[in-house]
Amino acid sequence: MDALQYLENFLQSLVAGLLMGAMYGLMCVGLTIIFGVMRVINFAQGEFMMLGMYFAYFCFAWFGTYAFFGGLWFPFFLALLAGPAVFLVGVLLHRLLINAVTGRRGNKLEAQGHYAQLVLTLGVALVLQNGGLFLFGSSPVSVANELSYSAWEWGPVVGDRVSVFVNQAQTISALLALVVVIGFAMLMNKSRLGKSLRASADNPDAAIYMGINVDRAHRLAFGFGVGITAIGGGLLASNAPFQPYIGTEYVIIMYAGVVLGGLGSIRGAFLGGLSIGVLQQVSAIILPNQLQNTVIFICFLIIILFRPQGFFGNKDRTA
C-alpha cells in the first residue's frame, strides 16, 4: 500500500468514526443525564439501547409495508419514536424500582446502600438482556435497508485516486443524532423543566426548598436518559445486526465516552462519544477487528485512572 492509500483508509475511517461517533455521542448524552441529575450509574443503559433497537425492528417488521414514509425513511422515523416509547418504560421502572434506592432513600440505606442503585441496575440489565433472549430470540437481526448499503462518493479529495465513501444511512442517522442532542440541550438549558432538573442535580435539598419535586425530576431524568439512548440504539439498528446481549459491550463504550467528556456534562458526553467513535474506527486501520473494543476499554481505564474529571467537562455547564 502506498501513502495515498493509507490516506484514503484514514479519511474513510475518520468519516465513518465521526458518523458512528455521533450516534455514540447521543447515547452518551442519555447516560450522562441520568448520572448528572440523579448521581446514579445505570448499568442497564446498554439494555435500554437494545430495547430501542428492537422497538425499531419490530415496528418495522409489523408496519413497514404500510409505511407512510416508504421503506427508506421509515426506520429513522421509528428510531425517533423509540425515544418516547422507552421514555415511558424508564419512567415506569423508576417509579417501581429505581426510586426505592436513589436520592434521599438511598442515603438512608446502610453500608452497602451506597452501591444499592449500582447493583439494582445490574439486576435490571440481567433481566432485560436475558428476558430479551426469550422475547426476541438469539439470532441477530437488523433494520437494514437500501440506504444502509449505499454511499455517497466524496472526492477525489487528493489527486485523482483518493475519495471517501460516505454511508447514506449512517449520515442520516448521525444528522438525526445531532438534531436530537441539540434539541435536548436546548430543553435542558432554556426550559423551566430543564432548569429545574439542573437545579435538582446541583443541590437536591435546595431544589426542594424552591418547591421542586425532586423525585419527579429524577423520574423524568431517568426517562429522558434511557429514551435518548434508545433513539441512539434505534439509529444504530439500521447499521449493523444486533442481538439481545449487545448492551454489555456498548455500556462500556458509552461509559468511555461519558468519562472522557466528564461525567454529567451534555456537551462533554457528546464530544466524548464522538471521540470514541473516531478512536474505534481509526484504530481498526492498524489493529485487528477483535481488538477494537479492547482499545476502547483500555482507553477508558487510562482516562478514568488518570483524568477522572474527563477532558471536555465544562464544569460550569453541567446538567
Partner 1 sequence: MTKPVLLQLDNICAGYGEIDVLQDISIKLLEGELISVVGPNGAGKTTLFKTISGIVTPSSGQIHFRENDLLGVEASRRAHLGLAHVPEGRQVFPSLTILENLEMGAFAEKGRAEFKENLEKIISWFPVLGERREQLAGTLSGGEQQMLAIGRGLAASPDILMLDEPSMGLAPAIVDEIFERLIEIHRTSELSVILVEQRVAEALHFANRAYVLEAGKIILSGKPEELQNDDRIRQAYLGM
Partner 2 sequence: MSSVRKDFLHIGLFGLVYMILALLVGNSYYLLIMTIVPVWAVMGLSWNLFSGYSGLVSFGHAAFFGLGAYLVALCMVVWDLNPWLTIMLATAVGGLSALLVGIPTFRLRGHYFALAMLAYPLALLYIFEWLGYQEVALPMKREMPVLYMQFENPVAYIALALALLLAALGITSILSHSRFGMSLLAIKLDEDAAEAAGINTLYWKLIAITISGALAGAAGGFYAVVLLVVTPLAVFGMLVSAQALIFAMFGGVGTLWGPVLGAFILVPLSELLYARYAADFPGIQGVIYGVAIIAVILFAPEGILWKVRSILKPGQFRMLGSTASITDLEADESLLAVSQSGAGEKILEVAGVSKAFGGLQATDQLSFAVKSGELLGIIGPNGAGKTTLFNLLNGFIKPDKGEITFQGQSLMKKRPNKICAMGIARTFQVAKPFTHLSVLDNVVIGAYVHTRSKEEASRHASAAIKLVGLENQCDLPGANLTNKELRLMELARALASLPKLILVDEILAGLDPDAMQEMLLVLEKVRKLGITIVIIEHSMQAMVKLVDRFIVLDHGALLAEGRPEEIVKNPQVIEAYLGKKWLEND
Interface contacts to partner 1, rule CB under 8 A: 192, 195-196, 198-199, 201-203, 205-214, 315-319
Longest dimension (CA), the chain: 68
C-alpha grid cell, residue 17: 468514526
Work out whether 255 is an interface residue with partner 2 (CB under 8 A). yes
Enumerate the β-bridge partners of residue 153: 165
CA angle 208, 210, 216 (to 5 degrees): 50
Q: Which does 208 bind (CB under 5 to 8 A by kind): partner 2, partner 1, none?
A: partner 1
Spatial contact of 73 and 176, defined as CB atoms under 8 Å apart:
no
Nearer Cβ to partner 1, position 21 or 194? 194
For the window 125-154, what string marks contact with partner 2 as x by the rule CB under 8 A? xxxxxxxxxx---x----------------
Enumerate the β-bridge partners of residue 167: 151
Work out whether 41 is an interface residue with partner 2 (CB under 8 A). yes
Q: Which residues contact 89 (CB under 8 A, 6 or more apart)?
A: 48, 51, 226
Task: Give min distance, CB of 193 to partner 1, in A.
Answer: 11
Give me the helices (H) in the chain, please.
3-38, 45-63, 70-96, 103-108, 113-136, 168-190, 192-202, 204-209, 214-237, 246-261, 266-286, 292-306
C-alpha grid cell, residue 209: 426548598
Site for partner 2 in 100-119 (CB under 8 A): 100-101, 109-116, 118-119
Q: What are phi and psi of 153, to 5 degrees?
A: -95, 130
Nearer Cβ to partner 1, position 217 or 303? 217
Q: Note if the bond before 156 is cis, omega within 30 degrees.
A: yes
Q: Which does 162 bind (CB under 5 to 8 A by kind): partner 1, partner 2, none?
A: none
Q: Which does 114 bind (CB under 5 to 8 A by kind): partner 2, partner 1, none?
A: partner 2
Q: Which does 318 bind (CB under 5 to 8 A by kind): partner 1, partner 2, none?
A: partner 1
Q: Which of 291, 311, 312, 317 binds partner 2 (CB under 8 A)?
A: 291
The span from the CA of 159 to the CA of 155, in Å, is: 9
Task: Give min distance, CB of 308 to partner 2, in A.
Answer: 5
The span from the CA of 232 to the CA of 224, in Å, is: 12
Work out whether 205 is an interface residue with partner 2 (CB under 8 A). no
Q: Which does 175 bind (CB under 5 to 8 A by kind): partner 2, partner 1, none?
A: none
Task: Give min distance, CB of 294 to partner 2, in A.
Answer: 4
Q: Which does 109 bind (CB under 5 to 8 A by kind): partner 1, partner 2, none?
A: partner 2
Cα distances (angstroms) measured from residue 290 to each of 21, 132, 251, 265, 296: 19, 25, 17, 31, 11
Spatial contact of 229 and 31, defined as CB atoms under 8 Å apart:
yes
Nearer Cβ to partner 1, position 122 or 187? 187
Work out whether 286 is an interface residue with partner 2 (CB under 8 A). no
Chain residues that interact with partner 2, rule: CB under 8 A: 41, 97, 100-101, 109-116, 118-120, 122-134, 138, 244, 248-249, 252, 255, 259, 288, 290-291, 293-294, 297-298, 300-301, 304-305, 308
